[in-house]
Amino acid sequence: MNKQKVVIKLLEERTSLDVKRIKLKCFIKSADFNNASEHQRRMLRLQQETMDVYSKILNNRIEDLLGDLYYETH
């Protein structure tokens, strides 16, 4: 698979992840979050932190590949 196709797949993956991240963040700010057990609340916060890191990794990969593509064409 060429780098352009990888970038497209990574962008799609990041977009899908970001939609889920936004939904989770909204849920954590909602009153329903407080109805969950303490263990569930801790796990949801950990899930949010992990998704944030995952998104940053995807961003770094995208930026790296785009840099490669730029230098390959110039």
- Asked whether residue 18 is assigned to any structural domain, the reply reads yes
- Asked whether residue 15 is assigned to any structural domain, the reply reads yes
- Asked whether residue 61 is assigned to any structural domain, the reply reads no
- Asked whether residue 59 is assigned to any structural domain, the reply reads no
Number of domains present in the structure of the chain: 1
pTM of the model: 0.86
Side chain identity at 4, as an amino acid letter? Q
Q: pLDDT (tens digit, 9 = 90+) per residue, 6-39?
A: 999 999 999 999 999 999 999 999 999 999 999 9
Range of the domain at 5: 1-27
- Asked whether residue 64 is assigned to any structural domain, the reply reads no
| DSSP codes joined into one string, 1-69 | --HHHHHHHHHHHHHHHHHHHHHHHHHHHSHHHHHS-HHHHHHHHHHHHHHHHHHHHHHHHHHHHHHHH
- Asked whether residue 16 is assigned to any structural domain, the reply reads yes
